[in-house]
Amino acid sequence: MDKIFKCSQNDNENIPAELIINTNLKFPDLHTNSKDISYISQKLKEYKKDTFCKLPFCTTVEAQAMGANINLGDEKNCPRVGNYAFDDIKDLLKISKIDLSKGRIKEVLDAISILKNKDEKVVLNICGPFTIISLLIEQKYFYKALRKDKSTIDNILKIIEDNIVDYAVGANQNGVNMISFSDPVASIEIVGPRVYKEIVGNTIKRLLNKLDDALDDTIIHLCGKTSTSLEFYGFCESEKLYYSKDITYGQAICELISKKDKGNIFIGHNCMKRTPYKTTESLLYNIKIH
């Protein structure tokens, strides 16, 4: 891969107001219970003429489960970080094993079960460790420690990685069809080439290998910017899988799900926001992590 995927999409999901008109739903409650989450996910699928129900609708669920202070927003603003929960990087070493039995993270997992019981194909959007850290503590403390105390940063990343894996396993157990992985804060444009090669690439590679070991018979879709960056720096390679130009990107993924053998498959070099549309090259990219 000789160039990095250009992404113009927002990782958060805007919920059109017309989807909740004449319902009992209201912001921000619809981010906090499984019934509303599953309802909105299904309505978004229908609204966009998509093939998948996708959830959650923001990038804050994992961080909140690890202690972040999240403002759940309103009809105009998605959930976002409030005051930072930590001001000492070493306090992140105290983050405990994620509890999937309470809070918004439980409601998201329960929403997967609700949608699967309606025979929907479901995608769980998960965030990478660098984006999660950015919601827990100001980035200046992270980068200061990255220069002076890399071992602490590595240990923090491993704690967060293991929590991400537990979340993905919970979704897998509830029947999710695909995991969609992104880590927008970890882009080369933000961290720079040196930090990406030395820290980010190795961390994401390690996390993806953990997911591969822990999950069973799952598609893992990597954000195009993530997968092309990994390949650019030699952390993975890709194989082209052609599909009919008459179907959408999402329909092509559904065909892959129905035809694939047992085991996990990583795909990438594209964006999950494109699943309702036909693409110019009609290609899936099978990503092979080194």
pLDDT tens digit sequence for 11-65: 678 888 889 888 889 899 899 999 999 999 999 999 999 999 999 999 999 999 9
For residue 4, what pLDDT is reported? 83
Break the chain down into helix, strand, coil percent, rounded to 5: 50, 15, 35
CB-side neighbour CA atoms (13 Å) of 233:
21
Confidence band (pLDDT; 50, 70, 90) for 1? Answer: low
Phi, psi of 136 (to 5 degrees): -100, -35
**Could you read off the pLDDT of 76-129 as tens digits, one per residue?**
889 999 999 999 999 999 999 999 999 999 999 999 999 999 999 999 999 999
Say how far apart CA 108 and CA 79 lie, in whole Å.
14
Higher pLDDT, 260 or 2: 260
Q: How far apart, in whole angstroms, are the C-alpha atoms of residue 157 and residue 140? A: 16
Name the pairing type of β-strands 236-242 and 283-289: antiparallel
Tell me, what's the pLDDT at 65? Answer: 98
C-alpha to C-alpha distances, 242 to 126, 227, 237, nearest whole angstrom: 26, 18, 17
Both ends of the chain: CA-CA distance in Å?
Answer: 15
Q: What is the pLDDT of residue 12?
A: 73
**Total-model pTM:** 0.96
Check whether 6 has a pLDDT greater than 80. Answer: no
Note the pLDDT of residue 229: 96
Are 128 and 204 within 8 A, CB to CB?
Answer: yes
pLDDT of residue 262: 80
pLDDT 10s digits, 139-185: 999 999 999 999 999 999 999 999 999 999 999 999 999 999 999 99
Report the alpha-carbon distance of residue 212 to residue 207 in Å, rounded. Answer: 9
Which residue matches tokens 């894996």?
Answer: 165
- Looking at residue 75, its pLDDT comes to 86
Q: How far apart are CA 45 and CA 54, in angstroms?
A: 8
Q: List, for residues 222-264, the tens digit of each pLDDT value.
A: 999 999 999 999 999 999 999 999 999 999 999 999 987 788 9
Task: Identify which of 74, 61, 76 has the alpha carbon closest to the alpha carbon of residue 30.
Answer: 74
Q: Which two tokens stand for residue 288?
A: 């092979």
Whether 132 has a pLDDT exceeding 70, the answer reads yes
Q: Is residue 8 over pLDDT 70?
A: no
Number of H helices, E strands in the chain: 11, 9
SS (H, E, C) 18-75: HHCCCCCCCCCHHHCCHHHHHHHHHHHHHHHCCCCEEECCCCCHHHHHCCCCEECCCC
